[in-house]
Amino acid sequence: MATLALYRGATALAVPAIVAFLAWRRLVGKEDAARIGERRGIASLPRPEGPVVWVHAASVGEAQSALALIERLTAILPAAHVLVTTGTVSSARLLAERLPERALHQFVPVDRRSWVRAFLAHWRPSLALWIESELWPNLVLETAARGIPMVLVNARMSERSFANWRRWPGIVGPLLERFRRVLAQSELDGSRYRSLGASDVVVTGSLKYDAATLPVDAHELAHLAAAIGHRPRWLAASTHAGEEGPVAEALDRLKALHPHLLTILVPRHPARGEEVRALLASHGLAVAQRSRGEPIAATTDVYLADTMGELGLFFGLAPIVFMGGSLIPHGGQNLLEPARFGCALFHGPHVANFRAIASELAAAGAAEEVRDGAALAAAVDRLIADEAMRMGRGAAAKRVAEAGRGVLDAVIASLEPELAPLEAPRETGIASA
């Protein structure tokens, strides 16, 4: 506990640095200026009446994983509201469009004790569900101190995080002891949490299997399909800095083999659109940029879809998909999202965040690992040339995605001890005297 005490003291003394950091984030667009008070624990919405189930998800990926759970909670707890907290502007935009009725969003307070206390005093959660792996010490300890039951849901622990936490047993052990239960994505995740100090660990699987298929604007899908026509096409999705270079290298090779090929590129962070455009142009590629409203022409090599919330649209257009975040040591992006559309899949070697899912897809013949631009070009070329292989891989991917459903039911069953006190009382049929 001495290490935790040092952490808590440091965050109490570091107010000027924290305030300056928030100001910098606001200047560069990483904070919502109109809602910056939420990061200090100052709520921008009133607390609704009745129970509040608090779901904390770090960013876009965790929030998307939690959406099906949030919808189920509002369905089975008609007297309750669900408060969802995240720490990024992009996740706030996503949730503004997709949260169900009786669910609301706030930015999570920065992990300073007084700000956390202000947040908890306002919202008074009846139950706290933490998604995946983000453990902020003050937030965990202050929540536990109020007697609020906490469960870590969809818990995962990458090899890197596990190695880091093992160096700080005086922090992670006391934090995990505060959770009533850890619902792990896999046996490996479960064993890592147990070794770090979690006492009650249940392996329920990944909620990503039960996430809804990404939404698609049917009108826009038809419009883009007409613009593309019969041209062969593929998609590089959710790419990060350091990955567009290998994609451009692949295109240098593919253009000679398939002169009419259209590549759709969706950067993970749309704000990088101009940077990515410049890189592609330096390779002599003709780019049409969606954020500028530029149409796909017969001469367009790359359609740069630097917009937010439209990934499902492009999975619906492209039968071949490379998922980014995997050629660099980021951990990969969610392979199940394109698998639900029946896309044939590629990814790089760095898929630690989705290791079990990547292994399942590989075993089913649905996904292939590529390590650089040359390998990516060769893999895309094979699937463009072999329609039977392409369709077989896509069908296998869809089967894997559908076969994994049912995790949400297991999670809800494991949460029943915490949810039961929040359920509305049932009618007894006995009239009062």
* Mean pLDDT within 159-177: 93
User: Could you tell me the CATH number of the domain that includes residue 36?
Assistant: 3.40.50.11720
Residues 191, 234, single domain; the answer is no
Model confidence at 431, pLDDT cuts 50, 70, 90, reads very low
Q: What's the chain's length in residues?
A: 433
Model confidence at 134, pLDDT cuts 50, 70, 90, reads confident
Instruction: Give residue for tokens 């005086």.
Output: 170
Domain that includes residue 235, residue range: 218-403
Residues 197, 224, single domain; the answer is no
Query: C-alpha angle with apex 9: 180 to 88, nearest 5 degrees?
Result: 65
Instruction: Give residue for tokens 């009108």.
Output: 219
**Does residue 116 sit within a domain?**
yes
**Does residue 35 sit within a domain?**
yes
Residues 241, 173, single domain; the answer is no
Radius of gyration in angstroms for the set of CA atoms belonging to the chain, rounded to a whole number = 23
Residues 120, 265, single domain; the answer is no
The answer to whether residue 367 scores a pLDDT higher than 60 is: yes
Q: Which residues are catalytic?
A: 62
Residues 370, 311, single domain; the answer is yes
Residues 93, 237, single domain; the answer is no
**Does residue 213 sit within a domain?**
no
Residues 172, 250, single domain; the answer is no
**Does residue 279 sit within a domain?**
yes
pLDDT for the residue 425: 57
State how far the Cα of 305 lies from the Cα of 350, in Å rounded to an integer: 24
**Does residue 33 sit within a domain?**
yes
The answer to whether residue 432 scores a pLDDT higher than 60 is: no
User: Could you tell me the CATH number of the domain that includes residue 334?
Assistant: 3.40.50.2000
Residues 250, 317, single domain; the answer is yes
Q: What is the DSSP letter of 425?
A: P
In terms of pTM, does the model score above 0.85?
no
The answer to whether residue 324 scores a pLDDT higher than 50 is: yes
Residues 54, 136, single domain; the answer is yes
Amino acid at 324: G
How many domains does the chain divide into? Answer: 2
Residues 188, 232, single domain; the answer is no
State how far the Cα of 257 lies from the Cα of 424, in Å rounded to an integer: 63
Residues 193, 263, single domain; the answer is no
